[in-house]
Amino acid sequence: MSSSAPFEFSSLTYTLDDVIAETEDTAANTDDPALRTAALDLDKLVESPELPSIFALACLFNVPLFLTNETGTMVALKRYHPPTPGLRDRESSMVRIHKLLGQELRAHCFPALREHENICKLLFLGWEDTSLLPAAALELATFGTLDDALQDMRSYSSALTKAHITFDIVAGLTAVHQCGLVHGDVKPGNIIICEHPSRLAIAKISDLNGVAPSESYGKKQSFFCSPLWQAPEALQRENNIDWQLCDVYSLAMVLTTIWTTKGWIPPGGCFLDPLLEYDYKDDAYMQRIEAAKLLPDRFDGSMVKTAYQSLEGANIPPNLPMKDIISLGLSAIASRRPPLTEIMSRYLSKFAQECGRTMQLASSDR
């Protein structure tokens, strides 16, 4: 569905800001109540139960979706491909793709997320040749994803650099939650690492096509999830799941994977891999991990105890209480996990103060 290869748009494009500005202008100057209502729906895109897509609205307003882009900006191009003709469930697949695209646009329409330094930016939308679906141009990850950069970061990055990356990831996901949303697939492959002028590197939450409101998450929207990084209640498909607390669990796994001192971690792997026997693969591998996730926190072999073992000898700055964050975040009991706003204020405020970081807390106001 996506391509992370750099792509230079030389074709005509239209930015998300331009589309919103154009539709708002149309709403302000039209006497047609249907057009005015549709434009206001775009302004409240995330609140709409159905997607009043930017493309449909633009056609409704007779707005061109292309402007000349002469900047030659290098971007990461994310393509949404239509299903293969003749595919038996082609219609349902097309609907699902549109839902994913709609979810991603809804997330990027939150000003608090579009302006947050730890959220991957949607730069513009564009069409290639005769493509039926648009391509999303996202800011280019200078150093790839966290999964790509993990081994170098673990081996060569300073403790301070890793601490800043930790803060970045928590801050970005906190912004998502403060907008009343759930990410749903927090893992190193969905966190990009970009160049930063003073801190060398900055982490940003990406892959927002699974982001959806917390109250309806897991019910109506299309979403992907990676079982390795899921909370135990999500794997067990329990009732009344707090999906934001599932994000907290996945986040704690990611942070432990950054700071672990144990062995080599394969691409796509986590801090558990160096501690597992190498002949565990596929179903047996996941069964062992799921068993660890279901163990009570105080038991040997539980995720909390294993995470503590993984952090032995880690050079963690004293103003970053990683063990506290991880022991709470990896709890097998969801109610013991604190919300991310509490993690930010209680456990990361000292680091922010001493290292010149801003507690950039988002607002869901549009």
**Ordered domains of the chain (ranges, CATH):** 6-139 (no CATH), 146-355 (1.10.510.10)
Task: Give the tens place of pLDDT for each residue, 262-277.
Answer: 999 999 999 999 988 6
Question: CA–CA distance from 68 to each of 12, 72, 135, 147 (Å)?
Answer: 5, 11, 16, 35
Task: Give the tens place of pLDDT for each residue, 70-126.
Answer: 455 677 878 776 666 655 665 566 777 777 777 888 888 888 998 899 999 987 777
Residue 286 pLDDT class (50, 70, 90 cuts): confident
Mean pLDDT value of segment 24-38 = 45
235 CB neighbour count, 10 Å cutoff: 17
Task: Give the tens place of pLDDT for each residue, 32-61.
Answer: 443 333 333 333 433 333 333 444 433 333
Backbone dihedral angles phi then psi of residue 236, each to the nearest 5 degrees: -85, -5
Mean pLDDT value of segment 8-14 = 36
DSSP 90-131: HHHHHHHHHHHHHHHHHHHT-HHHHT-TTBPPEEEEE--TT-
Q: What contacts 24+ positions apart, CB below 8 Å, involve 289-296?
A: 289/228, 290/232, 290/235, 293/231, 293/232, 293/235, 293/332, 294/232, 294/236, 294/332, 295/332, 296/332
Task: Give the tens place of pLDDT for each residue, 148-189.
Answer: 999 999 999 999 999 999 999 999 999 999 999 999 999 999
Sign of CA dihedral 223, 226, 229, 230: positive
Question: Whole-angstrom Cα distance, residue 226 to residue 185?
Answer: 6
Question: Whole-angstrom Cα distance, residue 101 to residue 45?
Answer: 13
What predicted TM-score, i.e. pTM, was given to this entire model?
0.79
Which of 25-39, 190-204, 225-239, 348-362: highest mean pLDDT?
Answer: 190-204
Query: Looking at the predicted structure, is the pLDDT value of residue 326 above 80?
Result: yes
245 CB neighbour count, 10 Å cutoff: 24
Mean pLDDT value of segment 216-230 = 75
Task: Let me know how long the chain is.
Answer: 366
Determine the pLDDT at residue 313.
Answer: 95
Residue 131 pLDDT class (50, 70, 90 cuts): low
Share of the chain above pLDDT 70, in %: 70
Higher pLDDT, 216 or 206: 206
Torsion of CA 168, 172, 177, 180, to 10 degrees: 160
Query: Looking at the predicted structure, is the pLDDT value of residue 293 above 80?
Result: yes
Backbone dihedral angles phi then psi of residue 126, each to the nearest 5 degrees: -160, 165
